[in-house]
């Protein structure tokens, strides 16, 4: 990350008019669609080897997921504040919106794995758990977001004081991070989860935050940009200090991802309205899109061996097929859910 380029981008962003409703439902829904595309490009980057376009997405995965976690927490907090008895049926209504698509897509993956010759016995599932793998390719995010929802429910359902709820939620997430490290799970399982806490804090203190941004926007924007440049090189900093334990790296990575999320919110989201019809459509199926695209890439990657032409075709077909399948799964699950609720 070049500091000159970063500050130049920051200056250009500063000159744009502000989006006062930067965290409204339409804008955040469109942003989810935009981020879902970013995740697809991130996972395409190892497959696309010609040119340098996709290389920029290779390190963006954790940044993108951090924003997802932030938006999820922000939305949950506000819904809990604005909807009466929101938590009463939370485990049924809210988690079902995640679990039903998750089970549907998992079935598709299991079918693919079976046809591909994998033995789907008990040892297969035990091995997934031990190794920090998932049925869904790159599906760790699904497991973690379900866990974060449960942490949110636990924290806010049993404590009336919202600040104490956030503190308890933080403790639970930190405990999860330590456990994931202890179990030897991949770095990606926990290097961005603290952004969820940022979303809760932002939602609770948004009035104060917005007043600070209105008054000191230039100072905040450029200060966060400089902090981002420093935090982005946390690996070099820890090596220089001879700090090599996993817990320190996990903390440093989470701090870096939190700083990036703050930078993204106060720069791009504060200036750009993501309420585009196409992006909102993608935002409505972003969860299904996140789950299904790994399977599409895996299948198409065997057909389109990397070359200048094939890389373009792989990207185009991955987008078309992934979006189509995500839309179908979304509609099927919604139809089934509606019919069950009418019974």
Residue 295 corresponds to which tokens in the numbers above? 């399977």
Closest by CA position to 135, among listed 149, 146, 147, 120: 120
**pLDDT per position as a tens digit, 147-205:** 999 999 999 999 989 999 999 999 999 999 999 999 999 999 999 999 999 999 999 99
Q: Has this prediction a pTM greater than 0.85?
A: yes
Residue for token pair 């939190």: 258
Please report, in tens digits, the pLDDT of each residue of the chain (343 residues total).
678 888 888 999 888 888 888 999 999 999 999 999 999 999 998 888 877 767 778 888 899 999 999 999 999 999 999 988 889 888 888 888 888 899 999 999 999 888 888 888 888 888 888 888 888 988 899 899 999 999 999 999 999 899 999 999 999 999 999 999 999 999 999 999 999 999 999 999 999 999 999 999 999 999 999 999 999 999 999 998 899 899 999 999 999 999 999 999 999 999 998 989 999 999 999 999 999 999 999 999 889 887 888 889 999 999 999 999 999 999 998 888 776 654 4
Helix residue ranges, H only, 183-285: 195-204, 206-232, 234-240, 246-264, 270-271, 277-284
Where in the chain are the domains?
3-342
For 315, half-sphere exposure in the C-beta direction (CA atoms, 13 angstrom radius) is 20
CA distance 86 to 220: 34
Assess contact for 1 and 250: CB atoms under 8 A: no
**pLDDT per position as a tens digit, 68-106:** 999 999 999 999 999 888 898 888 888 888 888 999 999
Q: C-alpha distances in angstroms, 30 versus 96, 275, 325?
A: 22, 5, 19
């Amino acid at each position: 990350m070049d500091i000159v380029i970063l500050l130049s981008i920051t200056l250009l962003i500063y000159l744009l008019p502000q989006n006062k409703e930067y965290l409204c439902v339409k804008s955040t829904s469109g942003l989810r669609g935009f981020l879902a595309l970013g995740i697809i490009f991130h996972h395409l980057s190892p497959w696309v080897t010609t040119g340098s376009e996709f290389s920029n997405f290779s390190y963006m995965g954790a940044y993108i997921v951090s924003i997802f976690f932030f938006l999820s927490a922000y939305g949950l907090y506000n819904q809990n504040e604005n909807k009466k008895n929101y938590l009463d049926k939370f485990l049924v209504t809210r988690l079902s919106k995640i679990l039903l698509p998750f089970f549907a897509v998992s079935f598709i993956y299991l079918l693919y794995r079976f046809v591909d010759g994998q033995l789907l016995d008990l040892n297969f599932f035990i091995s997934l758990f031990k190794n920090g793998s998932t049925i869904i390719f790159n599906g760790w995010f699904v497991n973690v977001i379900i866990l974060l929802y449960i942490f949110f429910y636990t924290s806010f359902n049993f404590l009336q004081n919202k600040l104490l709820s956030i503190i308890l939620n933080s403790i639970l997430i930190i405990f999860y991070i330590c456990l994931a490290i202890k179990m030897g799970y991949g770095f990606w399982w926990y290097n961005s989860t603290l952004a969820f806490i940022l979303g809760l804090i932002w939602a609770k203190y948004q009035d104060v935050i917005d007043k600070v941004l209105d008054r000191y926007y230039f100072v905040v924007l450029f200060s966060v940009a400089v902090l981002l440049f420093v935090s982005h090189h946390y690996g070099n900093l820890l090596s220089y200090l001879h700090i090599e334990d996993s817990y320190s790296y996990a903390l440093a990575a989470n701090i870096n991802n939190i700083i990036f999320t703050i930078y993204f919110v106060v720069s791009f989201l504060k200036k750009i309205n993501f309420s585009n019809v196409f992006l909102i459509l993608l935002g409505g199926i972003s969860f299904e899109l996140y789950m299904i695209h790994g399977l599409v890439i895996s299948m198409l990657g065997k057909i389109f061996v990397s070359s200048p032409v094939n890389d373009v075709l792989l990207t185009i077909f991955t987008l078309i097929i992934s979006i189509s399948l995500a839309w179908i799964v979304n509609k099927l699950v919604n139809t089934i859910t509606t019919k069950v609720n009418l019974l």
